[in-house]
Amino acid sequence: MTVFPLTGEHLALDLLNTRPSVGDLIAEPAGLAAWWAEEAGRLGPVGEVGDAEVAAVVAVREAARPALAAVRRGERPPDGALRALNAALAAAPAHREVAWVEGDGVLARTVRDADPARRLAAELAEAVVELLAGPRVAEVRECEAHDCSLLFLPAHPRRRWCVASACGNRARVARHYARRKETP
């Protein structure tokens, strides 16, 4: 079973965090299926996951990384990254649909007409675009642990680690031992 070190952030960051410092958590269909299930409610229904879905999602993730890095620096994203994100969005056009749900009333949702791979890639590309164009993009941080590359949006301005109970504890323990080592 694949364990994802950090979920619940902005969907685009959750996607980027599927490639931590070591390994690729969604390089295989089983990993992508597990991550898709982990993100239930934030993406369309989990469908059959094969090589096409993996390729489509990895393409969006690999375009998102340099685009986000550039925007965080206040620079223009690479043209290739923008082309890849736009291609994913164009491959699954969206339209709004309205329905009546007993007890809830009117429900509006976005529907994408495409095969599962293109639909999933478009949903993720839309999340990336939302983050890139949103007001909080400059707040995105990389975990300060020396062996971690996960990204997060801090809820508190003093947050330094992706997961305080993991990276934060390791950093505090390392500082403690370093101080003890310096003491004669």
Residue pLDDT, tens place only, 108-146 = 888 888 888 999 999 999 999 999 999 999 999 999 888
Average pLDDT, the chain: 88
Q: For the chain, what are the domain ranges?
A: 11-182
Q: Could you tell me the pTM of the whole model?
A: 0.84
* pLDDT value of position 5: 83
d(CA 139, CA 171): 22
Q: Which ranges of the chain have pLDDT less than 70? A: 1, 165-166, 168-178, 183-184
Helices (H), the chain: 11-16, 29-38, 51-72, 79-90, 116-133, 169-182
CATH class of 11-182: mainly alpha
Query: 110 forms bridges with which residues in the sheet?
Result: 96
